[in-house]
């Protein structure tokens, strides 16, 4: 499977599925146009509740990561044209704000947070994606 789900994680399982699929697409593990397993098939493979996977697929459709073709199934969406710089920056800032809030809650210094971002980027380049704390 392209990703793992951790039932002990504070992140809801459906969200872990969404992020796992998005990471697989970003890494090229899932290619544009590739057929996705059905909701029931993925739920069975990962021993997840059917409704959890259905919710994840709905979110992936909403985010434009996958598209559903009536009677044929779900497919990885074609990569959209890149957003202009302003929209990319806005999207990334929106994703980073909860991280910064958590860092503040944990009383981390600015430079420590920046170092962790650098570490996450290095992990990504080395193929470790979201793993490795």
pLDDT digits 0-9 by tens, 97-123: 999 999 999 999 999 999 999 999 998
pLDDT for 130 equals: 54
**Fold type of domain 13-76:** Arc Repressor Mutant, subunit A (1.10.10)
* Full-model pTM: 0.68
Q: What are phi and psi of 123, to 5 degrees?
A: -60, -45
Domain locations along the chain? 13-76, 85-125
Angle CA 34–80–52, to nearest 5: 55
Using DSSP's 3-state secondary structure scheme, residue 121 falls into helix
């Amino acid at each position: 499977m392209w990703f793992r789900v951790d039932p002990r994680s504070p992140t809801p399982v459906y969200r872990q599925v969404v992020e796992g699929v998005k990471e697989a697409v970003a890494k090229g593990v899932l290619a544009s146009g590739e057929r996705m397993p059905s909701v029931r098939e993925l739920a069975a493979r990962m021993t997840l509740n059917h409704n959890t996977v259905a919710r994840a697929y709905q979110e992936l459709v909403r985010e434009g990561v996958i598209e559903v073709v009536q009677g044929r199934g779900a497919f990885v969406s074609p990569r959209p044209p890149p957003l202009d710089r302003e929209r990319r920056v806005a999207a990334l800032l929106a994703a980073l704000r909860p991280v910064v809030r958590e860092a503040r809650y944990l009383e981390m210094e600015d430079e420590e947070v920046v170092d962790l971002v650098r570490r996450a980027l290095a992990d990504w380049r080395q193929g470790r994606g979201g793993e490795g704390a």
